[in-house]
Chain A
């Protein structure tokens, strides 16, 4: 449900940038979203369309880069890829993992006119 708030956050950033960098239309918004960020992509896409209405980003295309999650496995001493926070190490099945990435929620770039 907080996808709506996230889109409002995105719009705030876009509007601040529009003033600063003097653009009037956003054609594309590129986001980095980690698989552990708790963001439901389809809900985000839906909310994006609703929230951007009437703004400089009304017609913007939303592009989402999904970032995979990585963790450091202590028993294996190496970085492994996981899909969920509670996943075991795919090599040794230990839960002694330190998650190092995958919770990103970032506006990467804008294509503007």
Chain B
């Protein structure tokens, strides 16, 4: 593994990042030492604040009498490295007025369909771009590109989630524009992506009514981490035994603050509420950012 930036798990492929970083940055992933140089994305984190106390001799009772052993207090978050990258991504997003949404769900909830419709409906008003995460294939990124919006695929290989480092690399190629909205479609998985901060403004959980109303209880970490839940495929409700109220109640048990919107990406029902939420979140983040608002494509919406 690469100890400098940790990107050497060997399986991750980022479109346009194929072991060749295009700019002053080439490495082989089997090698343990390589150099990266990025604009916004530094790899030297070794000086992050780490409370290290040098323990002289075994400081605790479980290592008595071992002459040379010593205890080293680390107190470091296991995901500390990811969180550092996430912090850098977040700083970049904030500096550039980019609203980043991390879309999470189980496979088959209709994430890509929802995203494609969202893009088609909003691309006149907003600058948009997409990072697609899947284990394999570039199918989803191709579906997004058909809408005319730029998209980049990350294949995680054996990995079950996107991490902040992959997203940082993808951004070098994608270069999302100032004031834009960046959608990150995570790997379809309700477990692991909950733990990995990508630097996003919000996690958006998508749950479809064909999946069962108790999913929030079965996968509580994800629904706890999300700020909003889109209940998708509501056009199918007449054919299913799905109790919407119960589903929402379960989600609130896990996360009392979660906002729930009912939508159908196929018929378009309820999608306007999602767009309102998206516009409002974006504008909240752009308060006081005259540099970005002055050139805003959606200026007319600001004054609504």
A→B interface (CB under 8 Å)? 1-2, 5-6, 8-13, 15-17, 20-21, 23, 27-28, 31, 36-38, 63, 84-86, 88, 95-96, 99, 105-113
Contacts and interface: CB of A to CB of B under 8 A. Distances in A.
B304 interface: no
A112 B70 contact: yes
Report the 6 A-B pairs with minimum CB-CB distance, sorted nearest first: A2-B192, A85-B220, A1-B160, A105-B78, A107-B74, A86-B253
Contact of A17 (B74, B77, B79, B220): B74
Contact of B1 (A1, A6, A8, A31): A8
Contact of A111 (B3, B70, B195): B70
Interface of B: 1, 3, 6, 9, 46, 52, 54-55, 58, 60, 62-63, 66, 68-82, 159-161, 163, 191-192, 194-196, 216-217, 220-221, 224, 250, 252-256
A106 B80 CA distance: 9
Nearest to A3: B192
B1 A27 contact: no
Contacts of A109: 55, 60, 71-75
Nearest to B73: A109
B75 A111 contact: no
Contacts of B192: 1-2, 5
Contact of B221 (A31, A85, A110): A85
11 contacts: A8-B1, A9-B6, A13-B81, A17-B74, A31-B78, A86-B217, A86-B253, A96-B256, A106-B78, A109-B60, A109-B73
B135 to A, nearest CB: 11
Given A12-B81, A27-B63, A112-B69, A95 B74 contact: no
A6 B69 contact: no
Contacts of B216: 86
A2 B68 contact: no
Given A20-B46, A95-B253, A108 B159 contact: no
Contact of B74 (A6, A27, A85, A110): A110
B79 A105 contact: yes
Given A8-B9, A96-B256, A110 B195 contact: no
B54 to A, nearest CB: 7
A67 B140 CA distance: 40
A113 B52 contact: no
A2 B191 contact: yes
B296 to A, nearest CB: 37
Contacts of B68: 113
A21 B63 CA distance: 19
Contacts of A13: 74, 76, 78, 80-81
Contact of A21 (B54, B66, B80): B54
Contact of B220 (A12, A21, A84, A106): A84
A63 B73 CA distance: 14
Contacts of A38: 191, 194-195, 221
Given A5-B161, A13-B76, A38-B194, 11 more contacts: A1-B192, A6-B79, A8-B9, A9-B81, A17-B72, A106-B78, A107-B77, A109-B71, A109-B73, A111-B58, A111-B63
B6 A8 contact: yes
Given A5-B159, A96-B256, A111-B58, A12 B72 contact: no
Given A1-B191, A15-B3, A9 B71 contact: no
A14 B69 CA distance: 16
Contacts of B6: 8-9, 12
A95 B79 CA distance: 29
A18 B60 CA distance: 20
Contacts of A2: 160-161, 191-192, 195-196
B148 to A, nearest CB: 35
Contacts of B163: 5
